[in-house]
Structure 1
Amino acid sequence: MGQSHCCAYLDQKVSASSQSVEGQFLGRKAVLLGLKIHLARLGEAVARGFRLSKEPVISKQQDRQGDFYYRVYDPYHRSHHTFRAENEVRIWLEERHYR
């Protein structure tokens, strides 16, 4: 009977030790996975920065009175412009092209 008590005690120690090692392994695995995700996001952000176009972004919007206007963002000069007519946008684009 003394031996079975001893073996049960050893089984508990081995089981606790295995759980501890398993917990450490899972913890390290989670940290590595988090790092991998973080690096992937960082890589995507860097790639997106290189892909950014220097071309203007033009959107047609409507004011409260129902009138349309054009909002233009120039990423090269980091500036915003507002135009009431499409023709004004075309003129601005031509002038910008030849600067």
Structure 2
Amino acid sequence: MTAFKNYTVYILLCKDNSYYTGITNDIKRRLLEHLQGVNKNSYTYRRRPVKMVFCEHFQNVKDAIAFEKQIKGWSRKKKEALINREWNKLPELSKRYSPN
């Protein structure tokens, strides 16, 4: 029997009002690492405290990685629509969106 793995793509709101997007297989541990500043070279280290504003869980790591990369390419407004679960706004905020 294969152990069930759960992967989480998450967005943090940093102290400087920027967003950080990441992926992990242990969201509680990873959030604690961000909050404690475990890695002095990480993006969030000097931007603490951070607050998790979005997370989505995946069973397939490839799907999670693809979603994380997708979000990282999005504008701030599109990320905020995702955070607010305003699904209807996502197409109109897409760079390649074409109503035709």
Q: TM-score when scaled to structure 1?
A: 0.30
- Greater share of helix: 1
Q: Which structure has the greater CA radius of gyration?
A: 1
Greater relative contact order structure (CA < 8 Å, 6+ sep): 2
